[in-house]
């Protein structure tokens, strides 16, 4: 690999940005495609497929065979609310390879004992979230039912390029939430990014079942193209 490509690759990975190295199998020529530039590349469809799967592989193109070496940052799940659903959701997400962070200022709930092997921040969202540098490989869920915690957290998530944002609550509860967020200047197009009621509609009742529905919807958001989720 050329030194300039290696340097660019290391810089993108350090910044948690996706990169694909395209190698011409017949001639060995390599080029680097940043994730942000993939949609304008001649191999846009192939790059999108591999970036979504996170898998490297060989592909046939009109110009010949290429090998796509994919580098994507590990996905993160940021949860506001150290609640029962979170206790089930966190280990499920970790099993799927997510770095999980729990944010909840209520110190009686946000404890290492309730969330072993998970980073727990017993802080208000406006203090805890900005240093996390939430990005396009972050899923965000709000689970407290407390507007003082969930609303500012959702406002922060909506200002970032998260690939998934979800919030717990019935349609009636979410309707009230939307009105509050509109009063804070959040646009309708931004509000449409929130998945609520959260999770796939599988008839979930218990906290573990609700966690299954949430992690399934997050997975769809990470792996499927938008048209497949419509």
Q: Which two tokens stand for residue 160?
A: 């970032």
Domain match, 10 and 99 both: no
User: What is the C-alpha separation between 60 and 93, in angstroms, rounded?
Assistant: 34
Q: What is the pLDDT of residue 226?
A: 67
Q: What is the pLDDT of residue 121?
A: 97
Mean pLDDT of the chain: 93
Domain match, 60 and 92 both: no
Domain boundary among 37, 71, 105: 71
Domain boundary among 71, 101, 126: 71
Residue 219 has pLDDT above 80, yes or no: yes
Domain boundary among 15, 37, 71: 71
Structural domain span for residue 118: 76-229
User: What is the C-alpha separation between 149 and 146, in angstroms, rounded?
Assistant: 6
Domain match, 63 and 104 both: no
Report the half-sphere exposure of 202 (CA within 13 A, side-chain side): 17
Domain match, 8 and 103 both: no
Domain match, 62 and 106 both: no
Q: Which band of pLDDT confidence, cut at 50, 70 and 90, is reported for residue 53?
A: confident
Q: What is the pLDDT of residue 52?
A: 85
Cβ contact 31:6 at 8 Å: no
User: What is the C-alpha separation between 56 and 69, in angstroms, rounded?
Assistant: 5
pLDDT in tens, 12-28: 998 888 999 999 999 89
Q: What is the pLDDT of residue 228?
A: 60
Average pLDDT over residues 41-45: 93
- CATH number of the domain enclosing 151: 3.40.50.720
pLDDT in tens, 85-136: 999 999 999 999 999 999 999 999 999 999 999 999 999 999 999 999 899 8
Q: What is the pLDDT of residue 227?
A: 63
Edge-first strand order for the sheet with 19-24 is: 30-34, 19-24, 64-71, 57-61
pLDDT in tens, 171-216: 999 999 999 999 999 999 999 999 999 999 999 999 999 999 999 9
């Amino acid at each position: 690999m050329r030194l300039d490509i290696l340097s660019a690759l290391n810089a993108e990975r350090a910044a948690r940005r996706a990169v694909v190295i395209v190698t011409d199998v017949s001639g060995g020529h390599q080029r680097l495609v940043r994730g942000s530039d993939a949609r304008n590349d001649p191999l846009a469809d192939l790059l999108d497929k591999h970036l979504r799967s996170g898998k490297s592989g060989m592909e046939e193109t009109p110009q010949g065979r290429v090998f796509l070496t994919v580098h994507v940052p590990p996905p993160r799940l940021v949860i506001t609310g150290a609640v029962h659903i979170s206790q089930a959701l966190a280990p499920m997400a970790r099993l799927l390879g997510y770095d999980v962070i729990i944010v909840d200022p209520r110190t009686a709930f946000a404890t290492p004992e309730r969330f072993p092997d998970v980073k727990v921040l017993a802080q208000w969202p406006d203090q805890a979230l900005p240093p996390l540098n939430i990005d396009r490989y972050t899923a965000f869920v709000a689970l407290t039912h407390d507007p003082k915690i969930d609303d500012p957290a959702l406002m922060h998530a909506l200002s970032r390029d998260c690939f998934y944002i979800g919030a717990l609550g019935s349609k009636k509860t979410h309707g009230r939430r939307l009105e509050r967020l509109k009063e804070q200047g959040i646009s309708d197009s931004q509000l449409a990014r929130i998945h609520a009621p959260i999770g796939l509609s599988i008839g979930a009742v218990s906290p573990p079942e609700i966690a299954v529905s949430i992690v399934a919807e997050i997975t769809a958001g990470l792996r499927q193209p938008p048209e497949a989720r419509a």
